[in-house]
Structure 1
Amino acid sequence: MKNLVDATKSDHRSDGRFVLLVVDDDENVGDELVRQLAGHRVRAHHFPHAAEALLSAGALQPDAAVVAAGLATMSSTELVRVLAGRASIPTVVGVGDDDGVTAVAALKAGATACVRRPYRVEEVVPILRAIRPDTTGTLDPPIELGGLRVDPATFEVTLRGTPVALPLKEFKLLYFFMAHADRMVTREQLLSAVWNGSSADNSNTLTVHIKRLRQRLTLDRSQPPIIVTVRGLGYRFVPPAMVASSAQS
């Protein structure tokens, strides 16, 4: 299997998307996971039969696999052993309340992690991100609020149709702000999200980056700032459309 995977490398993943095998005999559960992950730009392929998944693994070159515990078409533990052990494909096992024994066996067989089944996309995506960190941006969907749009896959920002060039740190700040729009976020949360921690030096750097970000996002200086300081607490991001409406009222 490992040789088969290596021998069939192609450019079918040139868009950088995460490729995932989903092996689950329940077509509704498997298809729903595929549908939800599509919103995170994960190229997921559902196979109700384990044999079909194994045959397709070489052509798809998956970054990981999600395997349901208690498969009818093949022992879940054995499938994990083949995918993770022989093909070096990180494998996550979907488990229910009664699958404790299977979960333990799958982890011993080489599974990377277990996740609750039926699947919740907010629990699956962080595991995929940890498996392939370089896809962090591609796993996050674009956000558009009012006239402002950010796309983490391409690092593109547009404000009312006008491209805005942002350095990486400022882009990460903006994306975090937009993901938490109209909610107060602390300096500690921002430092953790963008600088992976906090320190006195980074705190001063945060202030500078937010000042620059405000300047880059200001098209009309008569408008209130998009990033509002909540004195003594942190910051609040007010989407452009809401800024415009509040200014008119």
Structure 2
Amino acid sequence: MKNLAEIAMGDYRSSGRFVLLIVDDDETVGAELVGQLADHRVRGHHFPHAAEALLGAGALQPDAAVVAAGLVTMSSTELVRLLAERAGIPTVVGVGDDDGAVAVAALKAGATACVRRPYRIEEVVPILRAIRPETAGALDPPIELGTLRADPATFEVRLGGTTVALPMKEFKLLYFLMAHAERAVTREQLLSAVWNGSLRDTSNTLTVHIKRLRRRLTLDRDQPPIIVTVRGIGYRLVPPPSVAVVTTTTP
């Protein structure tokens, strides 16, 4: 059980992260979801009691809430109404195979969506992205490949210990390529990921952005290119080595 006085003082507030209120009678289910969400930079706060969750909502000011169907401490539908309609907190309902009626009632009460319970992280995270598109980057973990690191929460890129400033489009290009490192990525995939498919492949915009990105990532003229062209397909990111290889000659 959380100490509500500590919550009110801010001990449970997160710094710059997506904050999710989780209301579930099952301690194990709630704790598991909190743990899984931590890998996606979501600060989950589990409350097994609805009354405490309402108090916690006022202190935490969460970005969204997940409410399990069939709560014992309060009607799930009524809690959704209080959170979604009165507090303006986007609320998702966790439903099992036999919770169809509760799901319908919760949606009528103001729920944003329903998700299967027990929860699956690959289903929960996309819903959170849709709820708060402006914080979508904060839900992605940083990627570190050799001496190259990209953090979508801060849009910071570091290469060999040096900070590399990138415009937003170039950062998105780099992050997508890093997420698919050592694999050929088509031009269509990049256009869809970065420009949401709004550009046609006949445009040279992608080519221009790739050239600029390569230039910014070239800290040493002797280093091999990090982004290579795969002729007829697209591009491939080759991670820089973790440790520079020093060649010595024996006199």
Q: TM-score, normalised by structure 1?
A: 0.87
Contact 2:145 2:242 in 1 (8 A): no
Contact 2:21 2:45 in 1 (8 A): yes
Q: Distance between the aligned counterparts of 1:183 and 1:24, measured in 2? A: 41
- Correspondence for 2:68: 68
Gaps of 5+ in 2: 1-7, 246-251
Contact 1:63 1:90 in 2 (8 A): yes
Contact 2:188 2:201 in 1 (8 A): no
Q: Any idea what the Cα deviations from partners look like across 1:120-166, whole Å, max 9, x if unmatched?
A: 22221221122222212211111111110011111111111111111
- Correspondence for 2:213: 213
Q: TM-score, normalised by structure 2?
A: 0.86
Contact 2:83 2:90 in 1 (8 A): yes
Contact 2:191 2:201 in 1 (8 A): no
Report the Cα offset of residue 242 of structure 1.
8.3
Report the Cα offset of residue 244 of structure 1.
7.4
Q: Distance between the aligned counterparts of 1:130 and 1:49, measured in 2? A: 27
- Correspondence for 2:153: 153
The sequence identity of aligned pairs, in percent, is 83
Alpha-carbon distance change, 126 to 189 in structure 1, aligned in 2, over 3 angstroms: same
Question: Cα RMSD over matched residues?
Answer: 2.3
Alpha-carbon distance change, 207 to 243 in structure 1, aligned in 2, over 3 angstroms: farther
Report the Cα offset of residue 92 of structure 1.
0.3
1:181 paired with 2:196, answer no
Q: Count matched residues.
A: 236
Q: Distance between the aligned counterparts of 2:212 and 2:202, measured in 1? A: 15
- Correspondence for 2:199: 199
- Correspondence for 2:58: 58
Alpha-carbon distance change, 242 to 181 in structure 1, aligned in 2, over 3 angstroms: farther
- Correspondence for 1:118: 118
Alpha-carbon distance change, 14 to 45 in structure 1, aligned in 2, over 3 angstroms: closer
- Correspondence for 1:78: 78
Contact 1:185 1:234 in 2 (8 A): yes
Report the Cα offset of residue 101 of structure 1.
1.9
Gaps of 5+ in 1: 1-7
Q: Distance between the aligned counterparts of 2:69 and 2:237, measured in 1? A: 42
1:91-110 map, 5 Å: 91-110=91-110
In terms of fraction of residues, the more helix-rich structure is: 1
Alpha-carbon distance change, 93 to 199 in structure 1, aligned in 2, over 3 angstroms: same
- Correspondence for 2:224: 224
Q: Secondary structure at the match of 1:228?
A: strand
